[in-house]
Amino acid sequence: MKRTVRELADGRQIYYFDTDPARERAAADTRDLPPRPPVSEMRRDPLTGEWVAMAAHRQTRTYKPPADQCPLCPSTPGRLTEIPEADYEVAVFENQFPSFAAAEPNPSTVDGLPMVPTGPARGRCEVVCFTSDHGTSFGQLSPAQVRTVVEAWADRTAELSATPGVEQVFCFENRGEEIGVTLHHPHGQIYGYPFVTPKTERMLRTAEDYRAEHGRPVLGDVLAAERASGRRVVVDSEHWTAYVPAAARWPVEVHVVPHRQVPDLVALTDEERDDFATTYLEVLRRLDGLYDRPLPYIAAWHQAPVRTGRDLSWLHLELFSVLRSADKLKYLAGSESGMAVWVNDVTPEQIADRLQAL
C-alpha cells in the first residue's frame, strides 16, 4: 500500500492510499479558501462528568449539495473539490469544519461557574472517502477496495494515536439521510478525541469487573457463547463473527468481532484484514436486503484508548440502524433520551432470523 501526503490550499493535510506503488499524486489545490475556523471549545458537564464540544462554526458546513457539486468527488476542469486529483482509490483529509482540532492546552472554567472546566477542543477530525465513485456505497465495494479502506483506518489510527492531546481514535461511517448524513458520497470520518469517551469508559469498567470475577475478557466469553449457540450469528468466517447482540438496543444491530483479542485496527494481521473485507461485505449485503432498500446505519469501530485500558479492550465494529421497519424510524424518546434506558421494538432473535434467511 502506498501512502502519499499532500496539502490543501488552506494548509490542511490530505492522504492518498493507493494499491499501485508507482502511483503519483501531485495535483495541487488551487482554490481560494477562507481561513481555517477557530478551534472549538469543550466544557465538562458537572453533573455527569462528560465533555461536550461547542463547535458553532459547523453551522455553515456543506449541506446536501447536488451530485454535480459534491465536494468529495475528484476535481475536474472548472470544478475544484476537496480532492485535487482527477481520481483516487481512498482519500483522507482534515475536515474543513472540525469539532476537534490541533490546539495548545489552555484550561479554564466557564465564567461564574468554577465547577465547569473548559478549554480548547484539542484533537483532530478527518474525512475518509471510500471511493471516487459518487453513486455507489460501501457495501458495493470490492473486497480489494474494502481492504484499502482498512489500511487507511489503521494508518490514521496509528498516526492520530501519536498526536499530542489525542486520547482515543474513533473511526465511523454514517449512511443515509435518516441518520443525518448531509453528503451522499460514500465516506466516513475519524475523530481523535482529547478524552476517553463515556461509552468506552463504561465498557472498560464492565470489562475490568468481569475479568476480576471470571479471569477472562467479557467479549471473549460473549463471542464464544454466540458462536456455540449460532442463534443470532449472521456471518461466521475464519477470523471474524458477525452476530445480533443478545441485548441489542437498536431495532437493527450487528456486532462484527475478531476471534483474537486485539486493542485496535493497527494490531490486525494481514489475514484478519483480508477476512474482514469479505465478512463485512456479506453483512452489508444482508442488511440492505432486510427491507429491500439501502439501510441507513452507523458503523462504529470500538478501539482501545491510547493510554489506558488496552489490555481490557477487544476491538469490534458495532453497526446499527434507526429503521425499525421499511418505512418507520426508531426515535430516541423519553426513556432513551432522558434516562438512557433503552426499549427495543423487536427482539434480537427476530432480526437475526431475518438476516440469516437472506
pLDDT in tens, 267-282: 999 999 999 999 999 9
Residue 64 pLDDT class (50, 70, 90 cuts): confident
Half-sphere exposure at residue 17, Cβ-oriented, CA atoms within 13 angstroms: 22
Looking at residue 60, its pLDDT comes to 72
Look up the pTM and report it.
0.97
Looking at residue 154, its pLDDT comes to 98
Catalytic-labelled residue, pool 184, 185, 187, 302: 187
Looking at residue 283, its pLDDT comes to 98
| 187 in active site | yes
Q: Over 80: is that where the pLDDT of 255 sits?
A: yes
Looking at residue 259, its pLDDT comes to 98
Residue 227's identity, in one-letter code, is R
Residue 58 pLDDT class (50, 70, 90 cuts): confident
User: What integer is the mean pLDDT of 133-137?
Assistant: 97
Q: pLDDT averaged over the chain? A: 96
Q: Over 90: is that where the pLDDT of 62 sits?
A: no
Looking at residue 63, its pLDDT comes to 73
Percentage of residues in the chain with pLDDT exceeding 90?
96
Looking at residue 59, its pLDDT comes to 77
Question: Is the distance from CB of 309 to CB of 294 less than 8 angstroms?
Answer: no
Return the CATH class of domain 2-195.
alpha beta
Same fold, 2-195 and 199-357: yes
Question: Is the distance from CB of 70 to CB of 44 less than 8 angstroms?
Answer: no
pLDDT in tens, 102-127: 999 999 999 999 999 999 999 999 99
Q: Over 80: is that where the pLDDT of 61 sits?
A: no
- State the alpha helices, DSSP H only, in the chain: 143-161, 198-214, 218-229, 270-290, 339, 348-357
Residue 93 pLDDT class (50, 70, 90 cuts): very high
Residue 2 pLDDT class (50, 70, 90 cuts): very high
Q: Over 80: is that where the pLDDT of 177 sits?
A: yes
In the block, residue with C-alpha cell 461485505:
281
Looking at residue 56, its pLDDT comes to 84
Contacts by 298-301, CB closer than 8 A, 24 or more apart: 298/172, 298/173, 298/174, 298/175, 298/179, 299/138, 299/172, 299/173, 299/175, 299/188, 300/170, 300/172, 301/153, 301/170, 301/171, 301/172, 301/265
Looking at residue 57, its pLDDT comes to 82
pLDDT in tens, 181-213: 999 999 999 999 999 999 999 999 999 999 999
Looking at residue 102, its pLDDT comes to 94
For residues 65 and 309, the model is more confident at: 309
Percentage of residues in the chain with pLDDT exceeding 70?
100
Looking at residue 175, its pLDDT comes to 97
Closest among 344, 292, 296 to 323, alpha carbons compared: 296
Overall fold of domain 199-357: HIT family, subunit A (3.30.428)
Please list, in sequence order, all residues whose beta carbon lies within 8 angstroms of the beta carbon of residue 358, skipping any fewer than 6 positions away: 285, 286, 289, 290
In the block, residue with C-alpha cell 475544484:
80
Q: Where are the domains of the chain?
A: 2-195, 199-357
